[in-house]
Amino acid sequence: MKKIILTIMLSLLLAGPVFAEISVVATLPWIGSLAREIGKDKINVTVLVRPSQDAHTIEAKPSMILAARKADVIMYDGLDLEIGYLPLVIESSKNPKLMPGKIGNFDCSRFVSVVEKPSTVDRSMGDVHPLGNPHYHYSPSNILRVADGMALLLAEADRANADLYLANHKAFADRVKEKEKQWSAVPLKGKKYVAYHKYFEYLAAEFGIQFIGYIEPKPGIPPSAAHIEELIETMKTAKPVAILVTPAYGMHESEFLSSKTGVKVIVLPHDVGSLPGTDDLISFWDKVVSLLK
Ligand SMILES: [Zn+2]
């Protein structure tokens, strides 16, 4: 009997105090990946959008609402990228923790230096990004600031594990900063490209690459024949090294343009897990830089 009691006491001691896990819902794979870097086993993460999906055309599903109902925090890209489903998911979840203004409503874009921020908002032209370019996950320096904010949020939401979150955050940030030295040594500055969608503006800002044109005349608007003809003419003089596209969006049109111009297509990952070898944010950036090279 004594032995059994001793064993139970010992196992309780080893198990340590039990804390509730923080339940995180992330809209996009890269956000889930960043949360896991900082939260590790102290949080459980549900990601709403699959890596194979195009983030612009997601619709709300009952499973999303169910996940949001049980969540402590919802983390999202912001800048209206999730406008088509997220407001509905949050409202239908009836989860007071996730309502706008609450600590559990975490808009990653608050920490970002937004590019292409328009002076006036006008959706009438069909622009899907009226608040500025939402694809900042291509920019390690912006994501480092999102990581700062995320670490503070988790430390605040779960104070018992605050030191762990801050240590995990520092380890991640140190790894990224080390990698940034490698990436900045790759000679990409001044290289010219065409892109299907305005996915890579933060890459341009961070790595000094240039875009001489876009297959979409405006984000979310498919190209007309006249626009393609004009782009072909521009490409003849500007001689871009490649047409950049992502697997879920614009492949067909990019290959058509390639067949007309002889300029090769490079398929870049649009999110963590969307191409082989992009299992976390650092390998995602590694892949992007090596494909551009
Ligand atoms: Zn977009």
For range 250-255, the mean pLDDT: 96
CA 110 – ligand 1 centroid, Å = 18
CA 132 – ligand 1 centroid, Å = 10
CA 135 – ligand 1 centroid, Å = 6
CB-based contact 116:133 (threshold 8 Å): yes
Number of helices (H) and strands (E) in the chain: give both, helices first: 10, 8
Q: Identify which of 102, 69, 52, 91 has the alpha carbon closest to the alpha carbon of residue 275.
A: 52
pLDDT at residue 14 tops 70: no
CA 56 – ligand 1 centroid, Å = 6
Interval 129-179: pLDDT, tens? 889 999 999 999 999 999 999 999 999 999 999 999 999 999 999 999 999
CA 57 – ligand 1 centroid, Å = 10
> Which position has the token pair 């292409």?
116
CA 220 – ligand 1 centroid, Å = 7
Binning pLDDT at 50, 70 and 90, where does residue 17 land?
A: very low
Interval 84-95: pLDDT, tens? 999 999 999 999
Q: What integer pLDDT is reported at residue 125 of this predicted model?
A: 61
CA 7 – ligand 1 centroid, Å = 57
Q: What integer pLDDT is reported at residue 118 of this predicted model?
A: 80
CB-based contact 154:22 (threshold 8 Å): yes
CA 173 – ligand 1 centroid, Å = 26
pTM, two decimals, is: 0.91
For range 252-274, the mean pLDDT: 97
- Distance between CA atoms of residues 71 and 52, nearest Å: 24
CB-based contact 35:172 (threshold 8 Å): no
CA 198 – ligand 1 centroid, Å = 6
CA 54 – ligand 1 centroid, Å = 9
Q: What integer pLDDT is reported at residue 2 of this predicted model?
A: 54
Q: What integer pLDDT is reported at residue 10 of this predicted model?
A: 47
Q: What integer pLDDT is reported at residue 147 of this predicted model?
A: 98
Interval 31-54: pLDDT, tens? 999 999 999 999 999 999 999 999
CA 200 – ligand 1 centroid, Å = 9
Interval 103-125: pLDDT, tens? 999 999 999 999 988 877 666 56
pLDDT at residue 13 tops 90: no
Which DSSP symbol is given to 97?
G
CA 249 – ligand 1 centroid, Å = 10
pLDDT at residue 5 tops 70: no
- Distance between CA atoms of residues 152 and 173, nearest Å: 14
